[in-house]
Amino acid sequence: MHDTVKNIDQFNSFFNQPTLHPLVGIGDLSEADLSLFEPLDFGCYCVVLMDVDFGELIKCGKSMRYRSCTVFTLKPGEIVSMNLDPAAKPRGKMLAFRPEMIENTGLGRDFYLFNFFDYEVTEALELTEEERRVMLNCYVNIEAELRAANDELTGHMLRLGIGQMLSYCKRYYDRQFDTRQLRSSDLIRRLDALMESYFAPESKLPSTLGVPTVAWCSNQFHLSPNYFGNLVKKEMHLSAQDYIHEKLTERAKSLLGSGHSVDEVARILGFAYPNHFSRFFSRRTGMSPTAFRRTL
């Protein structure tokens, strides 16, 4: 069982602090009531900076213990709790903002850029000391705006502060992609090998799973689809979907050139129907499979 935090008043009650804005709140984890760490759906978007390792985080049934200077995010509907370490006092910052805060706004329009809210518990952001200082400053700036006199610019200024924090998170994730194990050459090599094995003559994957998907590929790397997609985009300068489609097109051309019929190629590649394959091939190459065969 879990509770759902229905509003910012409830969020602030965990920190025994007044509500300064109905849609945005910031809490100091060192001041939090221990009930904050019981299973909860915060009903908000949250950005949490753990400034010390104080236990095991459990998010949507998956667990992870983070080192200090780690940022993780939550979105409405996600259930999170912590198994606290009795030897370590919680320390860090937590921003929460209601979905209504960004509806029909510029920040809401650009929110697709911040798809790290869909990352798995194992894909948190590990900050350098300089990045930690920048993030802490973002919390300070938002909190200062919360404490300022409310006027017609308050909502705008809060969204600017939130947008700045999320933009820094995106920048730091890009840096993390650069410094993690999957570097460009290794990623390309492993992806190419993955596609080769998927379409190998002895493979039963196309007949059982159909056309390969980003979700399937990401699972082979033990990454969430969004984290995997961002990593591919960062290293290969094309989306994971485009990479898969390029490989499908290359394989289709090879099969068409080796005498297979259009129906056979569709089946080998995992398309449910030959006309689905024909539409895909035409969009990718500007000609039908039959027209392509005539050019060979």
In this structure, the answer to whether residues 73 and 160 fall within a common structural domain is yes
In this structure, the answer to whether residues 201 and 157 fall within a common structural domain is no
Tokens 């209504």 sit at which residue?
Answer: 100
Query: Which positions ≥6 away from 254 have C-beta within 8 Å?
Result: none
Q: pLDDT at position 181, please?
A: 53
pLDDT in tens, 166-217: 999 999 998 887 666 555 557 778 888 899 889 888 888 998 999 999 999 9
Q: pLDDT at position 180, please?
A: 60
Half-sphere exposure of 3 (CA within 13 A, CB side): 10
Q: Which residue has the higher pLDDT, 234 or 3?
A: 3
In this structure, the answer to whether residues 55 and 145 fall within a common structural domain is yes
Report the number of distinct structural domains present in the chain.
Answer: 2
Tokens 């024909």 sit at which residue?
Answer: 278
Per the CB < 8 A criterion, the answer to whether 118 and 224 are in contact is yes
Q: pLDDT at position 86, please?
A: 93
Domain end call among 179, 200, 230: 179
Return the percentage of the chain with pLDDT > 70, whole number.
97
In this structure, the answer to whether residues 165 and 202 fall within a common structural domain is no
CATH of residue 213: 1.10.10.60
pLDDT in tens, 123-164: 999 999 999 999 999 999 999 999 999 999 999 999 999 999
Give the predicted TM-score (pTM) of the model: 0.74
How far is the CA of 121 from the CAs of 79, 101, 118, in angstroms?
11, 25, 9
Per the CB < 8 A criterion, the answer to whether 245 and 284 are in contact is yes
pLDDT in tens, 204-252: 899 899 999 999 998 888 788 988 888 888 888 899 999 999 999 999 9
Q: What residues make up the domain containing 45?
A: 3-179
CATH of residue 40: 2.60.120.280
End-to-end alpha-carbon separation of the chain, Å? 63
